[in-house]
């Protein structure tokens, strides 16, 4: 596919972004295909306004690191504090073997590096069979596209039949580990709110797991775009596995600054989602985070699993146990299906999802 680059389009009055976006999407090549074509500058649809790239100054303040082999009472206190003050934390000694982590990263990378015609067979924006491959979730709603491709799939309640063969076995093994770890994390998070450990699991918050395997190819002009634009996650908790190519790439907004999240071999990063902020009546906080465009010669890979309710027609809102005359409900109730539909149609940038449901 031939697409005009920024050098030929900047300043042109006839630039038609909608046409360029559709042309890119229809090619089914993804950003990986653009890189394979040998381009030396990025197409204009990927160029972000300077204010979205350089707002806030980065800091090296570390996110909390929590050792899951610690005593239960200490874990509850530390995870509760991290969810209340930061919205992000790193876990070590989580029980998932290093070999499983490495194989999962390698398998997702292998999918993205198949020939274009093989990847294209999975390309689409609807997960009708539980699996889809695309570039940019919000391609048609964002102000500018980001330099990444995504393999997305539902992991539960039913593991899909059409997971690509090149990564099926590894992702099935990963899913089993995440089910165990997710139950442990939800129990700790529930206790941190003063609730029984089984509270969130009982609301099906482990049974609607979904996964994205993001691929960040080398970018010829990383200062003009992002790897993933600033956003907060919609669900309950997110479990993130990163490779270690090039070092820092994930940034979390905290205290009026972007905090660099340094990848630590063998560790996983956990963050609070918008739904948990609402259910906790804002005791826990979801926060914006972003991924920088890849300036290195090697691609980067990250894998996120979202712990979501499987009860899509269930009604959610602040948990009754966390509402009182002293702290009334801060959010209205809604069906989870409506909540997720709004997320997928609003675009990634900004916190308008939680703001939409906030009571005035």
DSSP string, 169-230: HHHHHHHHHHHHHHHHHHHHHHHHTTS-TTHHHHTTTTTT-EEEEEEE---S-GGG-EEEEE
Average pLDDT value for the chain: 91
| Contact in structure between 25 and 142 (CB atoms under 8 Å) | no
* E strands present in the chain: 58-59, 65-67, 88-92, 131-134, 149-154, 210-216, 226-231, 237-242, 250-254, 257-261, 268-272, 289-292, 300-307, 315-316, 334-335
Contacts for 86 with CB less than 8 Å, ≥ 6 apart:
63, 64, 252, 254, 285, 287
pLDDT of residue 331 exceeding 60, the answer is yes
What is residue 126's predicted lDDT score, i.e. its pLDDT?
82
| Contact in structure between 24 and 3 (CB atoms under 8 Å) | yes
> CA 289 to CA 360: how far, in whole Å?
26
Which position has the token pair 């010669």?
A: 297
pLDDT band of residue 4 (cuts 50, 70, 90) is very low
| Contact in structure between 288 and 231 (CB atoms under 8 Å) | yes
First to last CA, the chain: 49
As a whole-number percent, the residues of the chain with pLDDT over 90 amount to 78
SS percent in the chain: helix, strand, coil, step 5:
35, 20, 45
- CATH class name, domain 21-357: mainly beta
Domain ranges of the chain: 21-357
pLDDT of residue 12 exceeding 50, the answer is no
> CA 227 to CA 308: how far, in whole Å?
24
Q: How many CB atoms are closer than 10 A to CB 22?
A: 13
CA distances from 272 to 103, 142, 159, 204 (A): 26, 23, 24, 16
Half-sphere exposure of 337 (CA within 13 A, CB side): 4
Helix (H, G, I), strand (E, B) or coil at 359: coil
**109-162, pLDDT tens digit by residue?**
999 999 999 999 999 988 777 999 999 999 998 889 999 999 999 999 999 999
Which position has the token pair 């076995």?
A: 169
Q: How many CB atoms are closer than 10 A to CB 82?
A: 24
By DSSP bridging, strand 250-254 and strand 289-292 are antiparallel
What is residue 246's predicted lDDT score, i.e. its pLDDT?
61
Least confident range from 3-17, 273-287, 311-325: namely 3-17
Handedness of CA 354, 53, 62, 138 (dihedral sign): positive
> CA 233 to CA 292: how far, in whole Å?
17
What is residue 134's predicted lDDT score, i.e. its pLDDT?
97
Q: How many CB atoms are closer than 10 A to CB 18?
A: 9
What H or E segment, with its residue span, contains residue 100?
helix 98-112
Q: How many residues appear in the chain?
A: 360
**164-199, pLDDT tens digit by residue?**
999 999 999 999 999 999 999 999 999 999 999 999
Helix (H, G, I), strand (E, B) or coil at 118: helix
Q: How many CB atoms are closer than 10 A to CB 94?
A: 21
Q: Which value, in Å, is the radius of gyration of the alpha carbons in the chain? A: 20
Helix (H, G, I), strand (E, B) or coil at 298: coil
């Amino acid at each position: 596919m031939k697409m005009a680059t920024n050098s030929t389009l900047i300043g042109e009055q006839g630039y038609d972004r909608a046409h360029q976006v559709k042309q890119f999407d229809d090619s089914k090549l993804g950003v990986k295909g653009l890189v394979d074509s040998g381009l030396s500058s990025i197409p204009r649809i990927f160029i972000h306004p300077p204010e979205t790239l350089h707002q806030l100054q980065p800091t090296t303040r570390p996110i909390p690191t929590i050792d899951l082999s610690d005593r239960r009472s200490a874990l509850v206190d530390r995870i509760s504090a991290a969810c209340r003050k930061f919205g992000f934390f790193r876990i070590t000694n989580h029980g998932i073997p290093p070999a499983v982590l490495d194989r999962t990263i390698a398998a997702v990378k292998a999918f993205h590096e198949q020939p274009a015609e093989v990847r294209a067979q999975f390309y689409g924006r609807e997960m009708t069979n539980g699996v889809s491959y695309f570039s940019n979730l919000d391609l048609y709603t964002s102000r500018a596209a980001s330099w990444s491709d995504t393999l997305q799939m539902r992991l539960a309640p039913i593991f899909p039949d059409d997971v690509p063969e090149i990564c099926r076995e590894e992702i099935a093994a990963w899913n089993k580990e995440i089910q165990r770890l997710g139950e442990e994390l939800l129990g700790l998070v529930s206790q941190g709110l003063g609730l029984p450990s089984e509270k969130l699991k009982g609301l099906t918050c482990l049974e609607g797991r979904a996964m994205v395997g993001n691929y960040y190819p080398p970018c010829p002009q990383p200062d003009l775009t992002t790897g993933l634009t600033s956003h907060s996650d919609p669900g309950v908790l997110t479990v993130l596995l990163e490779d270690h190519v090039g070092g820092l790439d994930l940034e979390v907004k905290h205290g009026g600054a972007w905090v660099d999240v340094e990848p630590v071999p063998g560790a996983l990063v956990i963050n609070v989602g918008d739904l948990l902020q609402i259910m906790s009546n804002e005791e826990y906080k979801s926060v914006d985070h972003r991924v920088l465009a890849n300036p290195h010669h090697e691609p980067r890979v990250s894998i996120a699993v979202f712990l979501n309710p499987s009860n899509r027609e269930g009604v959610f809102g602040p948990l009754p146990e966390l509402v009182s005359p002293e702290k009334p409900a801060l959010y209205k109730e809604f069906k989870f299906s409506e909540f997720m539909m709004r997320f997928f149609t609003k675009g990634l940038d900004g916190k308008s999802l939680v703001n939409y449901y906030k009571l005035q």
